[in-house]
Chains A and B, each alone.
Chain A
Amino acid sequence: MTTVFDRPHALTDVPMHYCPGCGHGIIHRLVAEAIDSLGIEGTTVGVASVGCSVFAYNYFNVDMVQAAHGRAPAVATGVKRARPENIVFTYQGDGDLAAIGTAETVHAAARGENITVIFVNNAIYGMTGGQMAPTSLPGQVTQTSPYGRDVKTVGYPVKICEMLSQLDGPAYIERVAINSVKNIRAAGRAIKKAFRYQTEGKGFSLIEVVSTCPTNWGMTPAKAMKWAEENMIPYYPLGVYKDKYAGDAAKA
C-alpha cells in the first residue's frame, strides 16, 4: 500500500489545542513539511511566542524555547548567534510580532539576522479572547473595538511586509494566505524557500500568513476563509515584497 498522506515527521503526535477550523493547524503543517523536505529537523530550533501559538513547543518535533511576549526575534538571535550551524525560526502572531514586539521584529530584520520568521496574521488577539490587534481591519468589530476599529482614534493597521521591505537587512519577505488550496500550496512553497534561504546563509526572511480566527471572528470556519479572502487579502495584498536573491535562480 502506498502512503499518500501522513503526519510530517517534524510534527509531534499529540492533539492540538487549537479551535476547530483555526489556521494554525494548516500553518504548523506547512512549517513541518518544509522542515521535513529540507531534512533539517535534527538541527532546527524553534522559538514559540505568546498568543494562541504559545504551545507550538509541544507540536514541533524540534528543540523549542518559549519566548516572552514579542521577544521571539531577540531570543532567536541569541540562539542563532550561539549556534550558527542550527536552523532557527520563530512562530509569532500579530499581537506578538506587530505590537509588543515591533522593535525586536524591525531590528532583527534590519540586522539581516539569519533566521526565519513565520508571522501569522489573523487580525485579532486570539488567546486573550478576541481583542483588537495591530492588524485588525478598519471597522473590524472586536472585544476592544466594539463599535468597529475607528481609525480616527486608534489609527490604522500595521502592514508588516510593506514596512520591513523598506529595510536593507531582510533577504526575503512574502505575504501568503491559507484561504484556498492554491494559496495553501503557495504558502508552503514560500515557507520552504524561507527556510532554504537560511540554510544558504542568505539572512532574514519573514513569511506573513494571512490566516483566520473563526472563534473570535464569530464565524464558521468556511465563512472565516471567505471573510479573509474578501476583507483581509484586499487590505493585505499577497506577493513577494522583497527577495534579494530573486534573480539568482535565473542566472544560475
Chain B
Amino acid sequence: MSEKVLMKGNEAIAEAAISCGCRHYFGYPITPQTEIAAYMAKRMPKIGGTFLQAESEIAAVNMVIGAASAGVRVMTSSSSPGVSLKSEGISYMAGCDLPALIVNVQRGGPGLGGIQPSQSDYFQATRGGGHGDYHLLVLAPASVQEMAAMTVRAFDLADKYRMPCMLLADGTMGQMMEPVELGESTGGTVDKPWALTGTGMKRPHNIINSLSLTPDELERWNVDRYERYAKIERDEPMYEEYLCDDAEIVVVGFGIAARVAKNAVNAARAEGIKAGMFRPITLWPFPKKAMFERAKTAGAFISVELSMGQMIEDIELAIRCTRPVTLCSRVGGMIPSPAEVKKSIEDAHEKLEGRN
C-alpha cells in the first residue's frame, strides 16, 4: 500500500484516472472543478498523455467521443452548466456504446446559477440528460478516498458495459482535502475489437454510429441496450448503510449530504432516537432492492438533498410508497446543517410516535 497523502477531491479524481490508464483528458474551464484540468495539464505532458483545453464543452465532449472511438481510456470533467452543454455528446456516446468518464462537480442552478455546491443535477444524471432512451452509470463518492476509488471503478464499469459513466460530485467534494491512499497503477485490460484503429487491411471496417433510419433496426439497438441496463440494475447497485438495522428513521443522502446526515444520525442517536443512514453510492442503478428491504424494518425515510427534491422520487419508487418520505434540503449553494437534518429526524420521529 502506498502512503497516505492529502489531496483535494478534484486532484484525487485526476490522479486516480491517470493511475488506471487514462492518458487523454479534454475539458473546458469552469468552477468548481478546474483543479482537475489544471492537474491534468501538469501531469499529462510528462507521461506521454494528452491534455487539451477545448474551445467549448461541446468540443471537449466530442473529442472524448473521438478518443473513446479509438479505444483509449478518456475523460472529461465539468460542472453543471458545462454538463448541460456536454449532454448532446453524452447522448451520442450512449447511442454509439462508447465507454468514457464524465465528471460533474455540481454547482447551483438553473441557468448560470452559482458556483457553490449543489446536487440539483440528479435528474439530469440519472435520467440520461440528453435526448433518447439511455442511462449513464452514475457514481456518487462521499470522500476524497472515494473520489479516487470511484474514478477507477467508473472506468472499469464503462469499459465492461461499453457505456459512458458519470462521477457525480459537488463543489464541496471537489474542493475538500482529506487523506487519500492511491492504489497501484492499473490499466484498462478490456479488449476493444470494435475500436477504430485502422483496418490494417486485415478486417472489415469498423463503424461507430448511432444513426439508423430503419425503425425496426433502431428499436432493436434500443432494446439490446436496455437488456444490458437490466443486467447492470441487477449486478451493480452499490450503497452503504450506517446504523440501519434497528433504525426507525432512515436518512437517505449521497455525497456531501450523506456526510451531514451521518452527523445528524449520531446526534439523534445520542438523544435516543433510532436513526440510521442509507447512502446510495450508485445513483443509477439506484439501490432499489436494498432500499425496499430496508422499508420493511424502518418506519419513515428522509431524503437529504442539495436540491428541491429529486432523489426523493427514486426513494418513493424504490420503497413503492410503503413508508412516508420527507425532504430535508437546501439549495442554491447552501448545505443543510446537521442540526437541520436532526430537526427533520425529530419531526419524523414525532409523527411515528403519534401514529403508534
Residues of chain A having any CB pair with chain B under 8 Å? 12, 41-45, 47-48, 54, 57-58, 60-68, 71, 74-83, 86-87, 103-104, 106-107
Contact = CB atoms under 8 A, between A and B. Distances in A.
Given A57-B209, A78-B26, A78-B70, A68 B62 contact: yes
Contacts of A78: 24, 26, 62-70, 74
30 contacts: A42-B198, A42-B199, A42-B202, A45-B70, A45-B197, A57-B207, A61-B199, A63-B196, A63-B205, A63-B207, A64-B196, A64-B206, A64-B207, A65-B208, A66-B207, A66-B208, A66-B209, A67-B92, A71-B59, A74-B58, A78-B26, A78-B63, A78-B65, A78-B70, A79-B196, A103-B59, A104-B58, A104-B62, A107-B54, A107-B59
A238 to B, nearest CB: 29
Contact of B66 (A60, A65, A107): A65
A104 B89 CA distance: 14
Interface residues of B, number: 40
A80 B26 CA distance: 13
B211 A71 contact: no
Contacts of A43: 198, 200
Contact of B74 (A63, A82, A104): A82
B67 A82 contact: yes
Contacts of A103: 55-56, 58-59
Contacts of B63: 74-75, 77-78, 81
A82 B70 contact: yes
B70 A83 contact: yes
Contacts of B150: none
B270 interface: no
Contacts of A64: 196, 205-209
Contacts of B197: 45, 63, 83, 86
Contacts of B69: 45, 65, 75, 78-79
B213 to A, nearest CB: 9
B71 interface: yes
Contacts of A47: 66
Report which residue of B52, B63, B211 has the largest number of chain A beta carbons within 10 angstroms of its beta carbon: B63
A68 B88 contact: yes
Nearest to A72: B62
Nearest to B68: A78
B211 A54 contact: yes
Given A71-B62, A75-B66, A103-B55, A82 B72 contact: yes
Nearest to A88: B66
Contacts of A63: 196-199, 205-207
A75 B71 CA distance: 13
B65 to A, nearest CB: 5
Report which residue of A47, A75, A107 has the largest number of chain B beta carbons within 10 angstroms of its beta carbon: A75
B326 interface: no
B297 interface: no
Given A64-B196, A78-B69, A42 B211 contact: no
Given A74-B59, A81-B52, A82-B71, A66 B198 contact: no
Contact of B201 (A41, A48, A57, A83): A41
A47 B62 CA distance: 12
Contact of A42 (B50, B64, B200): B200
A92 to B, nearest CB: 13
Nearest to A84: B50
B198 A82 contact: no
Contacts of B54: 74, 107
A192 B77 CA distance: 38
B322 interface: no
Contacts of A83: 70, 72, 196-198
